[in-house]
Amino acid sequence: MVKNVTVTVSDKDGQKDIKAEVVLMAVGVQANIENLGLEAIGVKTERGFIAVNEFGNTNIESIYAIGDVAGPPLLAHVASHEGIVAIDRIAGKANHGIDKTNIPSCTYCQPQVASIGLTEEAAIAKGHKVKIGRFPFRPLGKALAIGETEGIVKLIFDERKGELLGAHIIGSEATEMIAELGIAKALEATWEELHNTMHAHPTLSEAVTEAAGQAFDVAIHS
Ligand SMILES: Cc1cc2nc3c(=O)[nH]c(=O)nc-3n(C[C@H](O)[C@H](O)[C@H](O)COP(=O)(O)OP(=O)(O)OC[C@H]3O[C@@H](n4cnc5c(N)ncnc54)[C@H](O)[C@@H]3O)c2cc1C
């Protein structure tokens, strides 16, 4: 087994060697849209992806594109959802289309990381006055019971309407917990609705209701 690795990298300051035990390399992903004859029939592309609307229609309405070829985020659940939306559209069924502001983004590392919607910075940049709620895993009975006390839920709300704008979780089961916040965001739930929804004890999701209350200074366990 290799014990040490030397990686030679080049950046604006020149070339340098970095010694490490392990190298994790993440290569980029690009759409495989060459040699499909898109140019010949005039299907529009943008930055290497096929340009589509929220229903998957290209500029030639009867031609659809879904999945990685139709642009970021390049994720399996996005591809699958886009497929359903496009088929509904073709079959003449009502469908809201893809809402790119409501796509869960999950990293299956330890601790897990999961997000949906806007970050605090993005919400402010969009002109929202925000209220932020945070709740750590450490005081949660479930976190103590399963020995997973490292973690936090952060929720971003619009101050005026109270609407959930974004949610970010780091910790055990973060990729499972993000689902309820996806529903909350899709239904334009407010901090009050999240805070007043009874969450079972002991569960990690108690951090969601606590963070919602914390944002508007009514948390019981802050
Ligand atoms: C290593 C890795 C890990 C990943 N992990 C995750 C994850 O944990 N969660 C997640 O959400 N996403 C993950 N993804 C991304 C996810 O796999 C893709 O977003 C998803 O597969 C896209 O689906 P798709 O149908 O658009 O494309 P694909 O799944 O790539 O399917 C395209 C198909 O078209 C075929 N094809 C290509 N060209 C032609 C042609 N000319 N004629 C006929 N057939 C053709 C290909 O062979 C392939 O079968 C991962 C990707 C990689 C590479």
pLDDT tens per residue across span 93-110: 999 999 999 999 999 999
Q: Residue 47 Cα, ligand 1 centroid: separation in angstroms?
A: 19
The residue whose C-alpha atom lies closest to atom 29 belonging to ligand 1 is 76
Average pLDDT, the chain: 95
Give the span between the Cα atoms of 211 and 153, in whole angstroms.
Answer: 7
Would you state the pLDDT for residue 2? Answer: 64
- The answer for residues whose C-beta is within 8 angstroms of residue 42's C-beta and 6 or more apart is 59, 60
Please, are residues 82 and 98 in contact by the beta-carbon 8 Å criterion? yes
Give the span between the Cα atoms of 144 and 31, in whole angstroms.
Answer: 44
- Across 23-32, average pLDDT: 88
Q: Where are the beta strands (DSSP E) in 21-81?
A: 45-46, 49-50
Q: Residue 69 Cα, ligand 1 centroid: separation in angstroms?
A: 9
pLDDT tens per residue across span 156-188: 999 999 999 999 999 999 999 999 999 999 999
Q: Residue 106 Cα, ligand 1 centroid: separation in angstroms?
A: 17
Fold of 1-98: FAD/NAD(P)-binding domain (3.50.50)
Q: Are strands 152-158 and 130-136 parallel, antiparallel or unpaired?
A: antiparallel
Cβ(73) – ligand 1 distance below 6 Å:
no
Would you state the pLDDT for residue 24? Answer: 85
Q: Where are the domains of the chain?
A: 1-98, 103-215
Q: Which residues are catalytic?
A: 201
H or E element that contains 178: helix 174-186
Output the CATH code of domain 103-215. Answer: 3.30.390.30
Would you state the pLDDT for residue 146? Answer: 97
